[in-house]
Structure 1
């Protein structure tokens, strides 16, 4: 039966701990960078995709209503001009 060398076991534990620490630092750095980008974008007055789509739909509705009202006005003006 082979006995375990305490130096090798301690070294393996240390490397395992270091790897876990480095992975945690990487996740923390990524999350921190993501938050900084969100703050920066928020300060730039960008709108979300949902807000953009809502305003786009409102503009399309207003455009259609304007065209409808223009057609009605043209018809009324033509009718008044014929009299």
Structure 2
């Protein structure tokens, strides 16, 4: 019976080793794919999220400023017509 347990112990160790190797291969593949994707994105010259958000905020502020300037211009034109 001791030989049967040794076989199962050896089989268990072998399966653990195989799982460890498979996990290492998976991590290595993920790292390689991630590096390749980063190179691809960098080659595409895409804007980073932070840059996009900053530009969107700037455009929104400028749009509000333009609306205010148009109101002031319309008020000046109305004043000039009534003079």
TM-score (norm 1): 0.77
Once the two structures are superposed, residues 2-61 of structure 1 have per-residue CA deviations (whole angstroms, 9 ceiling, x without a partner) of 5457x8355544443232112101111011101111111121122222221111111110
Gaps of 5+ in 2: none
TM-score (norm 2): 0.77
Q: Give the count of matched residue pairs.
A: 82
Give the Cα separation in 2 of the matches to 1:13 and 1:49.
Answer: 47
How big is the alpha-carbon RMSD for the aligned residues of Structure 1 and Structure 2? Answer: 2.2
Counterpart for residue 56 of structure 1 = 56
Give the Cα separation in 2 of the matches to 1:66 and 1:10.
Answer: 77
Counterpart for residue 68 of structure 1 = 68
